[in-house]
Amino acid sequence: MVQAITDTNFNTETDEGVVLVDFWATWCGPCRMQSPIVEALDDEMGDQVKFAKMDVDDNPETARQFGIMSIPTLMIKKDGKIVEQLVGYTPKENLEEILNRYI
């Protein structure tokens, strides 16, 4: 299950291993298209990659800190460092290929 994270626990939840953070909002149509893909990849790759979601309306500080201006934005971190940032809808095959580079 994809974990919901907040401004408060963002750093502690994304500082180890490979982590994909889905920045989203309930009103965002493309976010609703991206969400099932993130959930499917969590089912398939959850033992190698941690998957998390952050609602930008409820957690604006982290989004502001990283300059998230459009959603969905998918941020991939490895050992606490941002290695990829994808803006807009990303197909499953593309996202899986990108994640495989870091595991």
Distance CA 34, CA 32 (A): 6
Q: Is 103 a catalytic residue?
A: no
Q: Is 87 a catalytic residue?
A: no
> Domain ranges in the chain?
3-93
**For the segment 53-96, what is each residue's pLDDT rounded down to a tens digit?**
999 999 999 999 999 999 999 999 999 999 999 999 999 999 99
DSSP-assigned letter for residue 4: E
Which residue among 31, 52, 75, 99 is the active-site one? 31
User: pLDDT confidence of 32, banded at 50, 70, 90?
Assistant: very high
Length of the chain: 103
Q: What is the pLDDT of residue 60?
A: 97
Which residue among 28, 38, 45, 74 is the active-site one? 28
User: pLDDT confidence of 1, banded at 50, 70, 90?
Assistant: confident
Task: Give pTM, 2 decimals.
Answer: 0.95
For 98, counting Cβ atoms within 10 Å of its Cβ (0-12 exposed, 13-18 middle, 19+ buried), the class is: middle
CATH 3.40.30.10 fits 3-93, yes or no: yes
